[in-house]
Structure 1
Amino acid sequence: MEPPKDLDQLHEEVGRRLAVSGQRYTGGRRALVDVLATAQRPLTLRDIVLLVPELPQSSAYRNLDALREGGIVYRISAGGDRAHFELAESLLGHHHHLICVSCGTIEDMRLDGKLEDEVDRALVGAAGQAGFTPLRHSLDLYGECSDCGDEA
C-alpha cells in the first residue's frame, strides 16, 4: 500500500484504521498523528509532550498506546528506557534508522531505490538459504550521532 500523500489523506486513513479496530479518532490522537507526521524523526514521549503541551503526559501515553494497538504508531526501543514513537511504515513509507548508543537519538534513513532493491535481494537470498520466508525487513544502524561523536 502506498503511504498517504498529504495530512488530509493521512488523517482519513488513520480514522479508517481506528474505526476498523473499534476506536475513535479523538482530538488528542489527531494532535499526536500531526506531530509524528511532521517530526522528520521518531520522537520520545518527552519530545511529544513538549511539542503538544495541551496534552498531559498520561493522556499522550494512553493515546500512543491506543494508536499502537490500531497499527498507526510503531514503538522503537533504543535500549534502556529510551522508547521512541513514529507513524507505522505503511503510513510513512519504507525507511531505516540510525540509532545513537550514547544519547539514544534516532534518525530516519532512506536508501535510494536501487540500493534498497539490492539490500532486499541479498536478504531474501540469505533467508532462502536458511529456509526462511521473509515478509519485510528493517535495518537499524547503531553508532554515535554527530553530537556525541564530536565529544570523543
Structure 2
Amino acid sequence: MKKLQKRFDDFIALKSLKHTHQRNLIFDVFLNSDGHLSTEELYEKIKSIDSSVGQATVYRTMKLLCEAGIAHEIHFGDGLTRYEVDDSGKKHHDHLICTVCGKIFEFVDELIEQRQKELAKKYDFDLTSHRMYLYGVCADCRKKI
C-alpha cells in the first residue's frame, strides 16, 4: 500500500494538484475494500465515513487513480463501470461472474494462461494483455432456483 500511496502522491504532484483529505480518504477506502467497486458503491462507503465528500469527487478521484496506474476500469457487461486495484505485483487473474446475484469471483489458472500464450505463438501474435470474464450462475443462486 505504501508503494501505491507514493505513486499517487507523485502523480498528484506531477499534475500540480492538491493533496486533499477527500482524495486521501477515497484512496484509502478504495485500496482497503474487497471486490470490484463501482463509483456508486465506493461513494456509499465514503459517505458513511465523511458525508462532506460528494459523488463527483469520488468519480474524479477514481479517474485520477486510473491515470496514475493505481486502478483500472472493468466492464462486466451489466452497464456499470467497476474499479479494481491495478497492482503490477499482483498475479494476473480472471473473473467468474454470477448473472443472477452479480457476485464476482477471481481465479488464477496457469493452464489457461499457458494455453493463451501457445495460441498467440501459433498465430504469430504479440500478446500484450488480456481479460477473461466467464458468466454463469453461482452455487448459492442455483440452490434458490
State the shift of 1:47 in Å. Answer: 1.5
Matches of 2:92 and 2:25 in 1, distance apart?
A: 23
Could you say if the C-alpha distance between residues 15 and 147 of structure 1 is closer, same or farther in structure 2, counting changes exceeding 3 Å?
A: farther
Within 5 Å, give how 1:1-150 maps onto structure 2.
Answer: 7-20=1-14, 22=15, 24=17, 25-53=19-47, 54=50, 55-90=53-88, 92-107=90-105, 109-111=106-108, 115-116=109-110, 118-150=111-143
Could you say if the C-alpha distance between residues 147 and 46 of structure 1 is closer, same or farther in structure 2, counting changes exceeding 3 Å?
A: farther
TM-score, normalised with respect to structure 1: 0.74
Deviates more, 1:50-59 or 1:88-97: 88-97
State the shift of 1:43 in Å. Answer: 0.8
Could you say if the C-alpha distance between residues 141 and 17 of structure 1 is closer, same or farther in structure 2, counting changes exceeding 3 Å?
A: farther
Higher RCO (Cα < 8 Å, 6 or more apart): 1
Any gaps of 5 or more consecutive residues in structure 2?
Answer: none
Any gaps of 5 or more consecutive residues in structure 1?
Answer: 1-6
State the shift of 1:147 in Å. Answer: 4.4
State the shift of 1:23 in Å. Answer: 5.4
State the shift of 1:74 in Å. Answer: 0.9
Aligned to 1:28, the other structure's residue is in SS state helix
RMSD: 2.4
Could you say if the C-alpha distance between residues 90 and 33 of structure 1 is closer, same or farther in structure 2, counting changes exceeding 3 Å?
A: farther
Aligned to 2:88, the other structure's residue is in SS state helix
State the shift of 1:60 in Å. Answer: 0.6
Aligned residues: 140
